[in-house]
């Protein structure tokens, strides 16, 4: 009666390598997946460097960050296993980026709406 | 208690008494590590926030500073860290699937990548030192255009320095789990410390994925 | 199974068994001892301040020394008493008990947190013997970058103590998520747990930003990075953004656990289930969330843009809403209850009265127009002392007297408790209410001397200060007397309903002989 968390105890998790995806049990990310992600990351790095060489002016930064963001997603999802982990861990990690954005947004709001006054002296 | 007949590992991992079973301990520990990753993101993120704001204030100065960085060394280091992240994930994969020797190789290669990264870093830093491109108080370069260029190198050394410190810590942690692995402490049922160290190492990689374009490419 | 008469205190003897303990209850007591010592250190500094301010001129100390005293009063009280206080003592002791667990999620990390905290605290205190810091506890640039005092050691100490706070918060979140007993859903946990949980989220999310801020102070002083230094085009106001992004949520780290205690005490001593459990629980999360969006209200006159000031002001008003929800729910709980006027309840009543004043004066300060007049005056000091001392400290005292019987198995002396409350409550208002008036009339904070017109109110305030000191000394005597020779207390002297009262006083080492199975809410009185 007391122990009724059946779907998450180890008797289940031991052999259910592929089926615990929503609880983050002992999920084994397949070798091929890891290899493909690594290749993708290397390609994206080449892309990053390549687009930087194109000197796209103001667009250089957003593009560089977009590519970095995609790389980060791949690392988080597959290398860190978030794709196969519990919703809670995804929420926990996403929360940090959200509040970092809050920190940046309101600080920037101040810095970029200051009225710069030229001294009349 | 686990009653599975899995063949990997000839010992059962003893889990702490306040957990229901080993899986409960594993899931809780994993959550704890993700919570710790939140703190890493917030801490490094603060530096990024400062960088973004100052960069917006002084785009020309930051461009000048970035021109002193060698993007090829940065790109090489990016590749090194990506490979190390891959081998770290492989290390866990091999431990989970009972391929102990391959796991050993993967972990050793990960540490090796860390060493390469720090060596490249050393040469980069040395070049800065030689040219006097140092933070604020120690800046003594000749021929530069923007008067507050020392601020750029303040950011450069703080961000890469904090990151480099984490690389060193990560290498130490991977060495620790490698030793425990060689002693046979891990198997497909218990590899929690390796998972934790792996997550830490991936964070180190994640930060560099943003740091590289920020410092070397965008300027 | 626990042998008859063994509990977490007597199950193992010797100082080494304490220093290497993994038992959250013993770690709680170790924090308790440390925090009490630091409280009296910070309190001594407070008494020096009130003595100095007895007369308008520099009575005992010159300006430099006064700057140091007020810095240590603030830094010790903030970093070494109020932020760790309730979570480290009562959170550690009661969170596992409240959710039916045997310990926190990571007991070794818990012990490490205590050692890290002690290391940071000792480093902070050591600066008293090297070069006393004089920047104020807020370490504002550019002064903190220039002053020749031991700023680096002090901020590193704060950094280290921040790490302890982070690890504690991390531990509590994982504990709350993963170690609840069967049947204890999130909507059945005691409100103290909701409070500690919300606090823990703040600890994990906000403290790292303080960490990097403090490291940047060190980097500025040692390397001259330039981010906050106008000489290199840096921005001192940016320092304030960095600092307050943590330090505003920090004040909710200070008050949320206190509110959790008030929920427990009011319920227990009204012998009635709490009114609005869901509202109070959600308001804890709500306060935690909103607290991240308001930090600029500390910076209205610092050089922040007007647009930012208005935005921050508006959002700050919002935080009054979940707070008020709590106040009204507590009042509604009292209504129709069977009220027991024991010491914990007296402190809880004191909290309600005093925190209401603290809260509304906060809304006053949130208004940009008023704050322009009141910023850096004694009005601000009165506001945050009403919330932090009147609020957190009174709730801490309520918690002490409520839980002493459980923690030590001994009953406290009610007369001493009531005397302590009288002097703390009355003394508190005598000390700090005049400061609202002083601030409104323009007296500056952080000054060791003042215009003679302010003297009479300052003297009233100082008298109050000594009353508070007396009240806390009586409380200390009450606690010590209880621990050493109080009469034995039963398992549930209050007839309360949360899980800690179902085990012996003191609890056994492993908390529960049999894992509890929860079938209802935490406050089912009738």
Query: Is C331 among the domain residues?
Result: yes
pLDDT at C1 over 60: no
Number of structural domains found in chain B: 1
Chain B residue nearest residue C109, CA to CA: B32
User: What domain range is C115 assigned to?
Assistant: 26-502
Give A6's pLDDT tier (boundaries 50, 70, 90): very low
Token code pair at residue B178: 């490698």
Residues in B touching A75 (Cβ below 8 Å)? 85, 202, 205-206, 209
Distance CA C318, CA B207 (A): 35
Distance CA A115, CA C305 (A): 7
pLDDT at A21 over 90: no
Comparing CB atoms, the residue among B28, B31, B50 nearest residue C227 is B50
b/e per residue A82-95 (b: at least 16 CB within 10 A): bebbbeebbebbeb
Q: Give residue limits of the domains in chain A.
A: 29-80, 87-111
- Residues making up chain B, counted from first to last: 219
Give C3's pLDDT tier (boundaries 50, 70, 90): low
Distance CA A46, CA B204 (A): 20
Give A24's pLDDT tier (boundaries 50, 70, 90): low
Query: Is C247 among the domain residues?
Result: yes
Contact call for B136 and C225, based on CB within 8 A = yes
pLDDT digits (tens, 9 = 90+) for C38-96: 999 999 999 999 999 999 998 899 999 999 999 999 999 999 999 999 999 999 999 99
Return left, alpha or beta for C152; rule: phi > 0 is left, psi -120 to 50 is alpha, else beta: alpha
Query: Is C17 among the domain residues?
Result: no
pLDDT at C482 over 60: yes
Round the average pLDDT of chain C to a whole number and report it. 96
Of A114, C109, A19, A75, whose CA–CA distance to B33 is shortest?
C109
Quickly tell me which residue has 């009355």 as its tokens.
C426
Least confident of B50-59, B114-123, C186-195: B50-59
pLDDT at C331 over 90: yes
Give B11's pLDDT tier (boundaries 50, 70, 90): low
pLDDT digits (tens, 9 = 90+) for C447-470: 999 999 999 999 999 999 999 999
For residue B219, the model assigns a pLDDT of 58
Our measurement of the distance from residue A90's CA atom to the centroid of its chain's CA atoms, rounded to an integer in Å, reads 9
pLDDT digits (tens, 9 = 90+) for C99-118: 999 999 999 999 999 999 99
Contact present, B9 and B189 (Cβ < 8 Å): yes
Q: How many helices (H) and strands (E) does chain A have?
A: 4, 0
Token code pair at residue C4: 């008859």
The percentage of residues in chain A with a pLDDT greater than 90, rounded to a whole number, is: 62
pLDDT at A3 over 50: no
The enclosing H or E element of B73 equals helix B71-96
The arithmetic mean of pLDDT across residues C393-421, rounded, is 97
pLDDT digits (tens, 9 = 90+) for C124-174: 999 999 999 999 999 999 999 999 999 999 999 999 999 999 999 999 999
pLDDT at A17 over 60: no
Give B15's pLDDT tier (boundaries 50, 70, 90): confident
Q: What's the gap in Å between the CA of C149 and the closest CA on chain A?
A: 29
The arithmetic mean of pLDDT across residues C324-346, rounded, is 96
Give A16's pLDDT tier (boundaries 50, 70, 90): very low
Query: Is B83 among the domain residues?
Result: yes
pLDDT at B10 over 60: no
b/e per residue A3-20 (b: at least 16 CB within 10 A): eeeeebbbebbbeebeeb
pTM of the model: 0.94
Domain harbouring C84, CATH code: 1.20.210.10
- Work out the number of other CB atoms within 10 angstroms of the CB of residue A25: 23
pLDDT digits (tens, 9 = 90+) for C355-377: 999 999 999 999 999 999 999 99
* All partners of chain A with 3 or more CB pairs under 8 angstroms: B, C
> How many Cβ pairs within 8 Å bridge chains A and C?
52
For residue A4, the model assigns a pLDDT of 38
pLDDT at B146 over 80: yes
Contact call for C293 and A114, based on CB within 8 A = no
The arithmetic mean of pLDDT across residues C243-262, rounded, is 98
pLDDT digits (tens, 9 = 90+) for B60-111: 999 999 999 999 999 999 999 999 999 999 999 999 999 999 999 999 999 9
Contact call for C225 and B155, based on CB within 8 A = yes
Contact present, B84 and B113 (Cβ < 8 Å): yes
Is the link from the previous residue into C142 a cis peptide, with omega within 30 of 0? yes
Return left, alpha or beta for C136; rule: phi > 0 is left, psi -120 to 50 is alpha, else beta: left
Query: Is C95 among the domain residues?
Result: yes
Contact residues for A36 (Cβ-Cβ < 8 A; gap 6+):
none
Domain harbouring B125, CATH code: 1.20.120.80
Number of structural domains found in chain C: 1
Among B15, B25, B36, B89, the residue to mutate for chain A (most A Cβ within 10 A): B89
| Binding-face residues of B in 67-126 toward C, CB within 8 A | none
Query: Is C183 among the domain residues?
Result: yes
Distance CA C246, CA B148 (A): 29
pLDDT at C277 over 60: yes
C182 CB near a chain A CB, below 8 Å?
Answer: yes
Distance CA C526, CA C518 (A): 17
Query: Is B88 among the domain residues?
Result: yes
Query: Is B5 among the domain residues?
Result: no
For residue B12, the model assigns a pLDDT of 65
Q: How large is the angle between the packed helices C343-366 and C394-408, nearest 10 degrees? A: 150
């Amino acid at each position: 009666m007391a122990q009724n968390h059946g779907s998450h105890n180890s008797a289940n998790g031991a052999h259910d390598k592929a089926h615990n995806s929503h609880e983050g049990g002992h999920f084994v990310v397949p070798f091929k997946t890891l290899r493909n992600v690594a290749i993708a990351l290397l390609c994206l790095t080449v892309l990053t460097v390549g687009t930087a060489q194109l000197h796209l002016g103001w667009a250089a930064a957003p593009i560089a960050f977009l590519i970095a963001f995609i790389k980060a997603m791949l690392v988080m999802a597959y290398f860190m296993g978030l794709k196969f982990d519990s919703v809670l861990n995804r929420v926990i990690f996403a929360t940090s980026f959200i509040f970092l954005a809050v920190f940046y947004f309101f600080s920037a709001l101040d810095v970029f709406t200051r009225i710069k006054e030229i001294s009349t002296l | 208690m686990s009653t599975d007949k899995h063949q990997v590992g000839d010992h059962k991992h003893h889990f702490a008494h306040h957990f229901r079973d080993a899986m409960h301990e594993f899931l809780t520990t994993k959550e704890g590590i993700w919570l710790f990753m939140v703190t890493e993101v917030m801490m490094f993120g603060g530096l990024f926030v400062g960088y973004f704001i100052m960069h917006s204030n002084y785009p020309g100065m930051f461009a000048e500073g970035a021109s002193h960085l060698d993007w090829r060394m940065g790109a090489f280091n990016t590749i090194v860290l990506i490979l190390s992240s891959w081998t770290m994930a492989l290390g866990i994969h091999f431990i989970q699937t009972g391929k102990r020797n391959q796991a050993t190789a993967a972990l050793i290669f990960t540490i090796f990548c860390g060493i390469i990264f720090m060596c490249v870093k050393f040469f980069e830093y040395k070049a800065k030192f030689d040219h006097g491109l140092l933070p604020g108080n120690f800046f003594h370069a000749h021929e530069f255009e923007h008067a507050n260029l020392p601020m750029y190198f303040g950011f450069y050394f703080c961000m890469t320095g904090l990151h480099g410190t984490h690389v060193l810590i990560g290498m130490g942690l991977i060495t620790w789990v490698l030793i425990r692995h060689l002693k046979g402490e891990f198997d497909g049922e218990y590899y929690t410390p390796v998972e934790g160290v792996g997550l830490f190492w991936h964070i180190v990689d994640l930060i560099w994925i943003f740091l590289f374009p920020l410092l070397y490419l965008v300027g | 199974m626990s042998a008859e008469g063994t509990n977490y205190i007597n199950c193992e003897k010797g100082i080494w068994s304490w220093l290497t303990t993994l038992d959250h209850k013993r770690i709680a007591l170790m924090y308790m001892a440390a925090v009490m010592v630091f409280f009296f250190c910070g309190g001594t500094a407070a008494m020096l301040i009130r003595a100095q301010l007895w007369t308008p001129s520099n009575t005992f100390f010159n300006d430099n020394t006064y700057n140091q005293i007020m810095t240590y009063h603030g830094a010790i009280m903030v970093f070494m008493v109020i932020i760790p206080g309730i979570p480290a003592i009562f959170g550690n002791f009661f969170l596992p008990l409240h959710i039916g667990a045997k310990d926190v999620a990571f007991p070794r990390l818990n012990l490490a947190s205590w050692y890290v905290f002690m290391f940071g605290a000792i480093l902070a205190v050591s600066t008293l013997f090297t070069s006393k810091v004089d920047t104020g506890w807020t370490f504002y640039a550019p002064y903190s970058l220039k002053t020749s005092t031991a700023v680096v050691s002090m901020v590193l100490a704060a950094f280290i103590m921040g790490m302890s706070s982070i690890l504690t918060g991390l531990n509590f979140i994982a504990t709350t998520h993963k170690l609840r007993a069967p049947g204890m859903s999130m909507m059945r946990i005691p409100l103290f747990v909701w409070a500690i949980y919300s606090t823990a989220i703040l600890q994990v999310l906000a403290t790292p930003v303080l960490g990097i801020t403090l490291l940047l102070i060190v980097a500025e002083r040692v390397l001259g990075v330039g981010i906050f230094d106008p000489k290199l085009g840096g921005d001192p106001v940016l320092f304030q953004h960095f600092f307050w992004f943590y330090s505003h949520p920090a004040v909710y780290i200070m008050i949320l656990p206190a509110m959790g205690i008030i929920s427990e005490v009011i319920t227990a001593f009204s012998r009635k289930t709490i009114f609005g459990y869901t509202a109070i629980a959600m308001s804890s999360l709500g306060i935690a969330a909103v607290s991240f969006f308001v930090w600029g209200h500390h910076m209205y006159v610092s050089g922040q843009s007007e647009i930012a000031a208005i935005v921050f002001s508006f959002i700050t008003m919002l935080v009054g809403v979940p707070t008020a929800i709590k106040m009204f729910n507590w009042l509604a709980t009292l209504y129709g209850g069977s009220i027991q006027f024991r010491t914990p309840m007296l402190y809880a009543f004191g909290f309600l009265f005093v925190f209401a004043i603290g809260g509304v004066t906060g809304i006053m300060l949130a208004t940009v127009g008023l704050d322009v007049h009141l910023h850096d005056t004694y009005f601000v000091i009165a506001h945050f002392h009403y919330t932090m001392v009147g609020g957190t400290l009174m709730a801490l005292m309520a918690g002490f007297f409520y839980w002493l019987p459980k923690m030590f198995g001994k009953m406290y002396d009610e007369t001493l408790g009531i005397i302590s409350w009288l002097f703390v409550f009355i003394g508190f208002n005598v000390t700090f209410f005049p400061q609202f008036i002083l601030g409104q009339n323009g007296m500056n904070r952080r000054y060791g001397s003042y215009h003679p017109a302010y003297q009479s109110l300052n003297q009233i305030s100082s008298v109050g200060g000594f009353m508070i000191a007396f009240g806390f000394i009586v409380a200390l005597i009450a606690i010590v007397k209880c621990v050493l020779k109080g009469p034995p207390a039963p398992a549930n002297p209050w007839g309360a309903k949360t899980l800690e009262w179902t085990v012996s006083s003191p609890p056994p080492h492993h908390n529960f002989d049999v894992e509890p199975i929860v079938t209802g809410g935490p406050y089912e009185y009738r």
